[in-house]
Structure 1
Amino acid sequence: MIVILTALDVEQNAVLEHLIDLEMYEHDKGTLFDVGTIAEHPGHRVAVGITGAGTTTAAALTERARAEFSPAAMMFVGVAGGLRQKTAVGDVVVATKVYSYQGGRSEDDRFLVRPRSWELSHRVDQLAHRLCRRHQWRGFLPDHARATPPDVHFGAIAVGDVLLDSTRSDLAQRLHTSYNDAIAVEMEGSGFAHAAALGDQVPAVVIRGISDHADGHKADADHAGGQARAVANAAAFAVALAVSLEPESRSAPEDPVTSDPAPTTITNTLVARGNAHVENQIGTQFNGGLR
């Protein structure tokens, strides 16, 4: 089982497009998940949930999903603002490092950053890179996206409870100065990564599609279809990765070995010699001995 979480309905719907035999699963606290099988990949089961925006609910529902499903891996899938011109709208970002950028120390004349970060597990990183060889994952893209397929980027992302849509704001300048390796910015990944790290180190990955460049033109980019392309592409890569992460189900051994075999009842008939008379003896055989 793989768990995929999203923040928005449009992101969740993009993931559900790849699943069949969907059933609703209700957690006892009211959280609803859609559980299904990846189309054309029987045995690859996925539970999909929606957290809403922000790191706090992302963390809470990540832990809830982990405890409920005990997944082989978890993913957070959705959109992000690009912080580099090399990341075109529609491109996919696999987060190799997730920064929580809001921690710090505020002094009279300056803000000293005290970030936390979580890195992608080596195994997931290796599998994600392998998917990019010969563009294996593109088979999961919608038909209309295959004519101009997106690129996949591996890099750090910056996360906080702020929707960034400026290149000149104090936050934009802080990200440029103190998180200069970040190539995208979003609002849930750190809560997700933190909760996953606390949950017995379950493999977790944040996958984002670039919907805009956080430059004051987000509304225009969304209106031009940037968000729709971004969620479809991110979902396609996530589902391809889920297929590579989740092994095919294996049947049980045909002849299982029992640790405590059932006792066998045996009957011995003894023949007496001379004038002696002996009745039949009936006993139970345990590990080669008669009792």
Structure 2
Amino acid sequence: MSDNLVVVLTALNLEYQAVRERLRSPEPYLHARGTRFEIGTLPGGHGRMVLGLTGKGNQPSAVLAERAIQEFSPIALFFVGVAGALWDKPPLGDVVVATHVYAYHGGTSEDDGLKARPRVWEAAHEIGQTAAHLARTGEWARHTPTERQQPQAHLGAIAAGEIVQNSRISREAEWIRQIYNDALAIEMEGAGVAQAGHLSGSPVAIVRGISDRADGTKATEADRTWQPVAAANAAAFALDLAAELIRQEETPTMRKGTTPDDSGSVTNTAHGNVGVQAGHVSGSTFHVSFTSSEQGPAGLADELASLREELARERSAGRIDEDTHDAASAELDIVTKGIEEGTPAGKKSSVLALKRLRGLLGDVATLTAKVAPLITAVGGLS
């Protein structure tokens, strides 16, 4: 089975169960600090998922998201559950996938009112592209009961605050709808998870089913009816998204740098010490050629030193911020230590650190182009 996995966190037991009942053979995993996770296989048997419960709020969600990222080094971290719609659309039961998350409680109080100072995190490009593809096809909703209207998926902004929003006429409700007028949904955990993902270099997907309209109808019979429906729909989309991301991670013809030419052959170009430089398909045979270059620890040490230097240059040029630079440097320290150990455990820790590093540097193409072949090279060490 693939080593690639996705972590899914939820705030409520209802949301947790909606995901869990779709996993194959979930087994408990106890973190050293007492957090209980479950690890199961995705439907279809391709890829694994780690499931955890955070409780309500951005702060606990951020802490446990960071814990899960460090423990499992997932290819992506999801937060899945229900949310309120800020407008008449999307319809109840539909799914919203965050293109970006607003931490809307940031602000300054002035004599003439509250001035917004939000923090915003954008979804990773690959997650946005894959989610848009799934939304277009609608295949994720294939298990919807026939008596229920088939849900749709929407991509848009989500607002995440610190309190339950259940009004359209309160002062804060009017302020939110005026200042964050492009937000489709509102909830209480997405900002914490997005911040944890940003600091840890893990792509984040926030997937929410619409269970109410944040308009005073929470805790009514209608809300109790729609919550399990919305949670089930969010879980269905999230599992298909997880499976697709894992498939893209593992399929060479879907990875970066792979382009078909006019003859139908495939050219796959990598940069670095080790990698497939070119290939073509003839019938059912894939022909490749390899570079011959130094692949041992000494050569990797040189590559890591070069990467550190380029990282420092990007920081000096202002293309990455100080937090990202420090986090990336810490991952490089882990890589170096693991290679020096020369053990299977050291190699594994180095590969996982490089994967986290790739996520951290996702917005700087010149750096991520150097990380990908390093993952292959370190994984090939004996």
| Paired letter, 1:31 | T
Write the deviation string for residues 113-151 of structure 1: whole angstroms up to 9, x where unpaired: 100000111111111111123312123x34x26741111
Deviating beyond 4 angstroms after TM superposition, the runs of 4 or more aligned structure 1 residues are: 221-224, 257-260
Q: What is the percent sequence identity of the aligned residues?
A: 46
Equivalent pair of 1:92/1:234 in contact (CA under 8 Å): yes
**Equivalence map 1:16-35=2 (5 Å):** 16-35=20-39
Could you tell me which residue of structure 2 aligns to residue 51 of structure 1? 54
Question: Alpha-carbon deviations, 1:2-39, whole Å to 9, x = none?
Answer: 00000000000000111011110000000000100012
Paired letter, 1:72:
I
Q: 1:84-123, CA deviations, whole angstroms, 9 ceiling, x for partnerless residues?
A: 2121110100011100010111123311110000011111
| 1:254 corresponds to | none
The SS at the match of 2:168 is coil
Higher relative contact order (CA 8 A, sep 6+): 1
Q: Residues 207 and 189 (structure 1 numbering): CA distance in 2 closer, same or farther, change over 3 Å?
A: same
- How big is the shift at 1:43? 3.4
Alignment partners' CA distance in 1, 2:83 and 2:146: 19
User: Whose Rg is larger?
Assistant: 1
Change (3 A) 1:135 1:242: same
Which of residues 124, 129, 140 is equivalent to 1:126? 129
One-letter amino acid of the structure 1 residue matched with residue 230 of structure 2: A
Q: Residue type of the partner of 2:99?
A: T
Matches within 5 A, 1:13-162: 13-40=17-44, 42-139=45-142, 141-142=143-144, 144=145, 147-162=148-163
Return the match for 2:9 from 5, 8, 11: 5
Q: How does 1:198-209 map to 2 (within 5 A)?
A: 198-200=199-201, 202-209=202-209
Q: What's the counterpart of residue 226 of structure 1?
A: 226
Contact 2:100 2:121 in 1 (8 A): yes
Q: What is the one-letter code of the residue matched to 2:33? A: K
Residue identity opposite 1:79 in structure 2: V
Structure 1 pair 223/181, CA: closer, same or farther in 2 (3 Å)? closer
Displacement of 1:223: 4.8
1:211 and 1:221 in contact (8 A); partners too: no
User: 3-state SS of the aligned residue for 2:138?
Assistant: helix
Structure with bigger strand share is 1
TM-score by length of 2: 0.63
Distance 1:38 1:146 in 2: 26
Question: Aligned residue pairs: how many?
Answer: 250
CA distance in 2 between partners of 1:235 and 1:8 (Å): 13
Query: 2:206 aligns to what SS in structure 1?
Result: strand
State how far apart, in whole Å, the 1-side matches of 2:48 and 2:231 are: 20
Distance in structure 2 (CA, Å) of the matches to 1:100 and 1:198 = 16
Name the stretch that deviates more: 126-135 or 214-223. 214-223
The residue aligned with 2:240 is 240
Q: Which runs of 5+ in 1 are unaligned?
A: 251-256, 261-291
TM-score, with structure 1 as normaliser: 0.82
Task: Say whether the 8 Å CA contact 1:83–1:184 is kept in structure 2.
Answer: yes
Q: Which structure has the highest helix share of the two?
A: 2
Q: Separation in 2 of the partners of 1:117 and 1:241?
A: 23
| Matches of 1:3 and 1:188, distance apart in 2 | 15
**Amino acid of the residue matched to residue 109 of structure 1?**
D
